[in-house]
Amino acid sequence: MSSVAGKVAVVTGAGSGIGRQLALELARRGARLAVSDVDEAGLAATADRARALGAEVHRSRLDVADRAAVLAHAAAVADHFGVVHQVYNNAGVAGGGTVLDSDWEDYDRILGINLFGVLHGTKAFLPHLIASGDGHVVNVSSLNGIMAQASINAYSASKFAVRGFTEALRSEMLQAGHPVQVTVVHPGGVRTNISTAAIEHARQRGVLTPEDERRAALYDDKLLRMPPQQAARTIVAGVEAGRPRILVGNDAKVVDLLVRLLPRAYPRLAVAVQRRAQRA
């Protein structure tokens, strides 16, 4: 077991949802925080709440898809605290459709944030984590990094890629003997605003379809059940326990088992379940 107390922890996407609750849970456990988000108002609220819990907080507006900005952020955080122990690459967006219906902007946006945001955060902070002598990379994938689903092609692709990148990084750290643990997180249905934000983005672009709205309503009403506070507690407890893989929620655990037991059949089962939920 390794406590987060006194550690410097970096959390991206900290303006709402799991990211906010990760920051607050880390603050409760005595960590020092570097929080970032593109939503400055939400980020400010997170920072205020973390400070009220007694945490030292460094706050920055940050677009994780901007490589230069992430590199500058890492340098600023290291300069501010003098050391960095943990990075939680949590920032992400939902959206996209089928391969036939998606345009290149969908792939650029979703992969830019969900995948390259993780790559940028990992590469920018990894030298500092190694130098700390007690580092930890925590990359947030998804249930859809275990099981691919129809109609969210770009999202599934990004989350599978996060899983592969993180598992390869873990092997590299072990092979090189670096003092850095590596964890991939697969949240199931956590009640955040990620689907609502995806719908609003599609509406602003003028590409929102009735099917998009029905799918988002299905996710919000039937699948996104776990409070983000509970998800954050599960993640931080798993980090403190040194787990390389954290499944958040019973749905993630069931899907993981299903894919392992029925690798050929699960796509048909997933489509059948999705159709049944849409009719309900």
**Catalytic center residues:** 155
Residue pointed to by tokens 């709205």:
213
What's the token pair of residue 125?
């902070």
Provide the 3-class DSSP secondary structure of residue 129: helix
Q: For the packed helices 17-28 and 40-52, what is the interaxial angle rounded to 10 degrees? A: 20
Place of tokens 């939902």: 94
Question: Which residue, among 38, 58, 39, has the nearest Cα to 47 in the 3D structure?
Answer: 58
Provide φ and ψ at 262, rounded to 5°: -130, 60
Q: What angle do CA 152, 192, 50 make, to 5 degrees?
A: 140
Report the side by side order of strands in the sheet with 245-248: 57-61, 32-37, 8-11, 86-89, 135-140, 180-187, 245-248
